[in-house]
Chain A
C-alpha cells in the first residue's frame, strides 16, 4: 500500500518537476529570441529570413484564414439571430454587438487559434525535422546561434502577420455575418454594419491580444520542435505538442488579457 502511494507521489512529483523545467526552458527560449532581435545579424540571422517568414506565415495562411473565419462568421450570426429571435425578436442589435465582440475578442482569438494549428504545426514540423536530422547541431558547429537563425525571424514575422490577419479575418467574419443576416433574417445591412458600438478600448485590446498571440505561437511551436527526438515519430509528436500548446497558450492569454483589462479599465 505504502509502495503504491510512494510511486504515485513520485510520478506526480516527476511530472511537476518536468513541467517546471519545461516552463523555464520556454521562458529562456523567449528571452533568447528577443536577444536575437537585439543582436540582429551578428547572431547569424540570414539576410531575407524575415521576409521569407512573413510570406510563409502571412501570405500562405491568407486563404486558410479567409475560409475558416468567413464560415465562422456565417455560423455565428446564424446562431445568434436564431437565439435573438427566440428570446427578444429584435435583430437590430446583432450587428453592432457582434462587431464589438469581434473586435475585442473573436477576431484575434479565432485567427490565432487557426494560426496556432497551421503555422504552429508548420514551424514545429520544420524545426523538429531539422533537429532529428542533426541540422541544428550543424548550425551550432558553424558558429550560428540556432535561436537567432530559426526562432527570431519567425517571432518577428508572426507578430506582424497575426495582427494583419486578425484585422483581415475580423473584417471577413463581419461581412460574412452581415450577408447571412441579410439573406436569412432580412436584417438591413445599414443597421447591421453599425460601427458605433466599437470603443477605442476594444480596438486596443484586440490589437494587444493579436500581438501577444503572435508572439506566443512561434515560441511554443519552436520549443516543441527543438525538443523533438528520435525520428519521424518524434517529429509527429512535436507537431502535436505544438498545436496543443499553441491553442492552449492562445486561450490562456485571452483569459489573462481580458481579465486584466476588465480589472484595469472596465468593460470595453
Chain B
C-alpha cells in the first residue's frame, strides 16, 4: 500500500500537470513550452517530496485502518458491508487529519 501509493502519487502528479497543460493550451491559449518552463522554474524537489511524505502517511493509515476493520468483521454479508463502510469512513477521516498534521510538520 505504501509503495503503491507513493508510485501512484508521482504518476498522478505527472498526469495532473499534463492535463493542466492541455487545458491551458486549449482554453487559455498558453503554449506548452511556457507552461513547462513555468513548471521547471517553480517546482522544487521539496514540493514533490511534500507529496511523497503525505503518500507515506496516508498509505500507512489506509492499510492499517482497513485491515483493522477487516480482521474484526463479524456477522456474515451484512457485517462485511458494515465493515467496508466503517473502513471507508475511517480512512477518509484519517487522510484529512494526517494531511493537516503532515502539512504543519513539513511546513
Could you list which residues of chain A lie within 8 angstroms of chain B, going by C-beta atoms? 64, 67-68, 71-72, 74-75, 78-79, 114, 117-118, 121-122, 124-126, 128-129, 132-133, 231-236, 239-240, 243, 262
A243 near B93 with CB under 8 A, answer: no
Q: For residue B82, which residues in chain A have a CB less than 8 angstroms away from its CB?
A: 125
Q: How far is the CA of A189 from the CA of B77 in the complex (A)?
A: 51
The 10 closest A-B pairs by CB, nearest first: A125-B81, A232-B80, A239-B84, A71-B96, A129-B77, A121-B85, A129-B78, A68-B96, A121-B88, A232-B77
Q: Please tell me if the beta carbons of A68 and B81 are within 8 angstroms of each other in the complex.
A: no
CA of A125 to CA of B27 in the docked complex: distance in angstroms? 41
Which residues of B have CB within 8 Å of A118? 85, 88-89, 92
Partner of A122, one of B85, B97, B103: B85
Residues of B within 8 A of A117 (CB): 88-89, 92
**In the complex the two chains form, is A235's CB within 8 Å of B77's CB?**
yes
Complex Cα distance, B95 from A68, in Å, reads: 9
Q: How many residues of B contact A (CB 8 A)?
A: 20
10 contacts between A and B (CB under 8 A): A67-B93, A71-B96, A75-B100, A75-B103, A117-B89, A125-B84, A232-B77, A232-B79, A235-B77, A243-B88
Give chain A's interface secondary structure class.
helix
Q: Which residues from chain A contact B104 at a C-beta distance below 8 Å?
A: 78
A241–chain B nearest beta-carbon distance, Å: 11
Contact B81 A126 (CB under 8 A): yes
Of A78, A124, A129, A234, which one neighbours B103 at CB under 8 angstroms? A78
Residues of A with C-beta under 8 A to B76:
129, 231-232
Query: In whole angstroms, what is the CA distance A114 to B95 when docked?
Result: 12
Alpha-carbon gap, A32 to B19, bound state (A): 36
Closest to B73 in A: A232
Question: How far, in Å, is A243 (CB) from chain B's closest CB?
Answer: 6
Interchain CB contact under 8 A, B92 and A68: yes
Complex Cα spacing A232 to B97, Å: 31
Residues of A within 8 A of B99 (CB): 71-72, 75
